[in-house]
Structure 1
Amino acid sequence: MAIARPSYGPISSYSRVQILRLVQARPERSIQELHEATGLHANTIREHLQRLIEGGYVIASIEHRTTRGRPRTLYSAATGAPEASSPVAREKVTAAARRGDLLRRMLPSTAPGLARDATHQLDALVEHLEESGFEPVVDDAALTVDLTPCPHAAGRPEHRPVLCAVHLGLMQGVLTEAGGPLVADCVVAPERAEECTVRLRLAGELAGTAA
Structure 2
Amino acid sequence: MAIARPGHPVPHTDPTTPSPPRRRRAEVLACLKASASPVPVAEVAQRTGLHVNTARFHLDRLVEDGLAQRESEQAEAPGRPRILYSHGAAEPGPRSYRLLTDMLAGLVAALDPDGSAAASAGRTWGHRLAADQEALGGGTALARLDTVLEQVGFAQTRHHDAGGSEMRIHHCPFIEVAEQRPDVVCTLHLGLLRGVAEELAAPVDVTGLHPFARPGLCVASLRDTATRDPAPPTPPAAVP
Instruction: Verify same fold: TM over 0.5.
Output: no
Higher relative contact order structure (alpha carbons within 8 Å, sequence separation ≥ 6): 1
TM-score range, shorter chain: 0.3 to 0.5
Structure 1 length as normaliser, TM-score? Answer: 0.43
Greater strand share, 1 or 2?
2
